[in-house]
Structure 1
């Protein structure tokens, strides 16, 4: 099967060799995974979250294993956008596959400023907006939990993103994810990715201390896949823009499940920590599975769940 897929959105749709992308924060800047496979075999790379200035992140410990998943409170550690542009991006094969920059900031103006910097870079195919960030100017409210704030961020990014498609990454930590999806679609988002991590925590009964220094972190891995599938199914039925599915993908069957409920593509995250070659192997396994199941057309298979 020809696994390629084109995700419509904005002036420049994303043309992917296959629907397997890497999730932000789980694949570094991409270059770290070159020893484990051919980066150009992937559908695309979403680099770790970028900020205007370098960020140290949260204190240790900031990763903990849980049944069927992991907790993390890394705190969005990164080298800053200028370092990415000057030192990381030139080393990526951006002429051969889409490199997507995940961005975050603490107010809409800074989001827009960051978008403007990246909009000027030929090697950046699209921007993924992490709206699960504290809005300091609004008393610490998460953008992703307030439809009005999420729309403001989306508008600020779209205004300065130029021709780059804007993907808004939705949080599951809301009462109604469909309301959030419609708000950012109305504000100009070209695509959606869902979901981000669920809020969670772990404790050690022997030391009587939390597993994470930050106490609360983001839960990811196979444990959250049912939630992610539900969100993708609900959102893809409620909006007219494409959806990228994220959450607990650990096999080719998982990929097909997300496409079946409406996703155009998927992002692989926690599984990259278990096997650094996982995303590369997944592409081969997906091809074999589609062949066995007789799936020959993504457009016909996508969203064909009989519910």
Structure 2
């Protein structure tokens, strides 16, 4: 824990594609909510294999592609920090699956809009941002990093202002729908992302504190719209661009 979030280095823990398809899919398919499957890999072939396997399942509404992973064939260069790698990966994924692709962008770049544009040009249907910020914490008594991995991903309220700014940057440069995330804990936070250009918002860290965060946010947005006399939710998306 940090004063305003979580710093983690748990990796992308998961049971693997076979267990997911056999055990998780039947359970998740019971619900009416959209089913979005997040995939990641160490090389392009990993992503392509997963996408092809999942393409056989009709129930999946979209694939969220985590491109914040190091490419072992490019000396560990993160896929999502290079427009060329991003374009190549998304283009190849588009060729092996007809499931809509949501590209999850890393904030650990100089210009996130360049990566967003590369994903759009390669055929992505939507973007999600931001992933965690790279952080570090040191135990001053032992004079050692608190995380075994030395560095980790920072999430929670601490990254929200950065995330809102990046959503606006991307909204100005691409025409794809944006799923905004990063430190959202209440409807006011969510509205910041929406006004900056997000069509949808996602909640992560706050769910560890209150599992009903999402429905509370939905109700808060409805109350805000009623109070402001706004009838259509779409009118809020990117409102900032029309008022600045």
Query: What is the TM-score when the length of structure 1 is the normalising length?
Result: 0.76
CA shift, 1:93, in A, is: 4.6
SS of the residue corresponding to residue 183 of structure 2 reads coil
Shift of 1:165: 0.7
**Separation of aligned partners in 2, 1:237 and 1:132:** 22
Aligned to 1:290, the other structure's residue is in SS state helix
The answer to whether the Cα contact below 8 Å between 1:263 and 1:302 also exists between their aligned partners in 2 is yes
| Shift, 1:273, TM fit | 1.2
Match of 1:171 in 2: 106
- Summarize deviations over 1:106-165 as a string: whole Å, max 9, x none: 111221111111111122110000000010011011001111111111112111122x11
Ranked by relative contact order (alpha carbons within 8 Å, sequence separation 6 or more), the top structure is: 1
The reply on whether 1:142 has 2:91 as its aligned counterpart is no
Aligned residues: 242
**Structure 2: 5+ residue stretches without partners:** none
Matched, 1:108 2:39: no
**Does the 8 A contact of 2:186 with 2:213 survive in 1?**
no
Q: Which position in structure 2 is the counterpart of 1:296? A: 231
- How far the C-alpha of 1:176 sits from its partner, in A, is 0.7
Correspondence list, 1:170-249, <5 A = 170-249=105-184
The Cα offsets for residues 221-251 of structure 1, whole Å up to 9 and x where unpaired, read as 0110111001100101101111111111011
User: TM-score, normalized by length of structure 2?
Assistant: 0.95
Measure the CA separation in 2 of the matches of 1:293 and 1:81: 46
Alpha-carbon deviations, 1:9-38, whole Å to 9, x = none?
Answer: xxxxxxxxxxxxxxxxxxxxxxxxxxxxxx
Any stretches of 5+ residues in structure 1 without a counterpart? 1-64
Deviations 1:46-71 (A, max 9, x none): xxxxxxxxxxxxxxxxxxx1121110
| Kept in 2: contact 1:201–1:210 (CA 8 A) | yes
Question: What SS does structure 1 have at the residue aligned with 2:239?
Answer: coil
C-alpha distance in structure 1 between counterparts of 2:164 and 2:30, whole Å: 30
Map residues 247-286 of structure 1 onto 2, 5 A cutoff.
Answer: 247-286=182-221
Flag the structure with higher helix content.
Answer: 2
1:159 corresponds to: 95
The alpha-carbon distance between structure 1 residues 94 and 187, as it changes in their structure 2 partners (threshold 3 A), is: farther
* RMSD over equivalenced CA pairs, Å: 1.3
Does the C-alpha gap of structure 1 residues 94 and 170 become closer, same or farther in structure 2, counting only changes over 3 Å? farther
**1:118 counterpart = 2:63:** no
Distance 1:135 1:237 in 2: 29
Give the distance between the partners of 1:247 and 1:94, measured in 2 at CA. 28
SS in 2 for 1:78: coil
State the alpha-carbon separation in 1 of the partners of residues 234 and 103 from structure 2.
23
SS at match of 1:218: strand
The equivalent of 1:89 in structure 2 is 25
**Residue pair 2:51, 2:97 contacting (<8 A) in 1 also:** yes
Cα distance change of structure 1 residues 95 and 119 upon mapping to structure 2, 3 Å threshold: farther
Q: Distance in 1 between matches of 2:127 and 2:14?
A: 23
